[in-house]
Amino acid sequence: MLNPDVKTIIDAVEGSQELFKYSLPMIASENITSPIARQVLCSDLGHRYAEGQVGHRFYQGCGFVDVIEGKAVELSKEIFNAPHANVQPISGVNCNIAAFFALTNPGDNIMALAVPCGGHISHAKYSAAGICGLKVHTHPYDYDTMNINVDKMINDIRRIKPKVVVFGASLFLFPHPVKEAREVCDEVGASIVYDGAHVLGLIAGGEFQDPLKEGADVLTGSTHKTFPGPQGGMILCKEKYAAEIDEAVFPGTVSNFHLHHKAALAITLAEMKQFGKDYARQIVKNAQALGAYMDDMGFNVLCKDLGYTKSHQVAVDVSKIGGGSVIAQDLERANIIANKNLFPWDDVHTTDNPSGLRLGTQELTRLGMKEPEMKEVARFIKRVAIDKEEPEKVKKDVVLFKSQYQTVKYCFDGEGAYEFFKLR
């Protein structure tokens, strides 16, 4: 008989797997790994240690780790056409901290998006930027286009003279003006850091902007959002920044770098090399289709005139039908997993029930759904959010619908999306 504490934990793990097996996962910062990736995540690597770079470790027994990390670096550079890659960061925030350490000094000015405008918390003065002692100035923002105001941005860069200009966001519908910023950044001696956490898989598949080609010096990213790998991060950069970035990662912000995650990352990179273009293209098609269907059904989907989105995200103003928190909670009762979201017009200090609902299509796409399925998904959301149908009733139909999508696509072996091993 299992220890009661252990049984409680195992029951919760099984419960979570069961929940997502029969839910519509639409959190924009999540994805599902392939069965092969999950297999190596549960390997002996999970309790091994490695410090240093490939071929230059501080411990013995790292020969196979060198093979794994070397392959991940090789594939990263190829897929992103990057001169240098570091795959050791253990999160996207870790990547941003390392980039700030490498490119700035305490007291420097940086420019980044404000959190209500989609900026990530790691860009804010209380998070990664604060850790590095930076003064954060926010980008001018256009509510109608849900993007940075280019002309005002250029003027602000000249006036503020930041050490780093940060692009990328947590609420991220459209490409950011990297190309437009490059010349003025050169004028004032600023570097460009592009936080590609949400759109890394779209960049890899050629379905979003190419930040490094457009002029970014450093591209940071999470490996588990549109990029469908294990939780972790990577940094890609120009060669001139390689030594500083590597030192900022190790020994700066990372010791051991979670070797089992890097093995799963290497596998996912191989998958993206072969399947990434088709996968990324379908993610964006699905997001645009979802936005159009929801708009037709009476939702206030942002940026209709711009085609709703060019990423994996759809942003919906639900302030007049209950608010973001209320709608997200009701959807969860129907096994539709989404999140409330601040919009630029919301008060950042009152986040209990913001205006927005953020929906991501990357995981549904990974499970083989396409545009027709997005119409069904929109109908489920409408039944809960607009029609105010009892969520438990909608849940029965969601479970039946989701039972048809239990295989991971765009990978080498996708059998058993939610089957891993039997927990006792």
Residue with tokens 């990328």: 168
Question: And the tokens for 371?
Answer: 């545009």
Q: Give the span between the Cα atoms of 290 and 322, in whole angstroms.
A: 20
Longest dimension (CA), the chain: 69
CB contact at 8 A, 213 and 187: no
- Sign of the dihedral defined by the CA atoms of residues 290, 295, 301, 303, in that order: positive
Residue 7: phi, psi to the nearest 5?
A: -60, -40
User: Could you tell me the two tokens for 142?
Assistant: 């256009």
- Return the ∠ at Cα 394 (arms to 391 and 395), rounded to 5°: 85
* Cα(93)–Cα(107) distance, integer angstroms: 20
Length of the chain: 424
Residue 311's Cβ-count burial label (10 Å; 0-12, 13-18, 19+) is: buried
Any idea which residue has 């796409």 for tokens? 365
- Tell whether residue 247 is among the known ligand binding residues: no
Question: Comparing C-alpha atoms, which of 285, 394, 388, 381 is closest to residue 338?
Answer: 381
Strands 56-57 and 52-53: antiparallel
Give the contacts of 189 (CB within 8 A, at least 6 positions apart). Answer: 161, 163
> Does 154 show up as a binding residue in the annotation?
no
Both tokens of residue 247? 């030192």
Q: Is 118 left (phi over 0), alpha (psi -120 to 50) or beta?
A: left
Q: How far is CA 12 from the centre of its chain?
A: 25
Environment class of residue 340 by beta-carbon count within 10 Å: exposed (0-12), middle (13-18) or buried (19+)? buried
The Cα 287–Cα 370 span in angstroms is 10
Q: Does 239 count as an annotated binding residue?
A: yes
Q: Which residues are annotated as a binding site?
A: 119-121, 239
Q: Which residues are annotated as a binding site for (6S)-5,6,7,8-tetrahydrofolate?
A: 119-121, 239
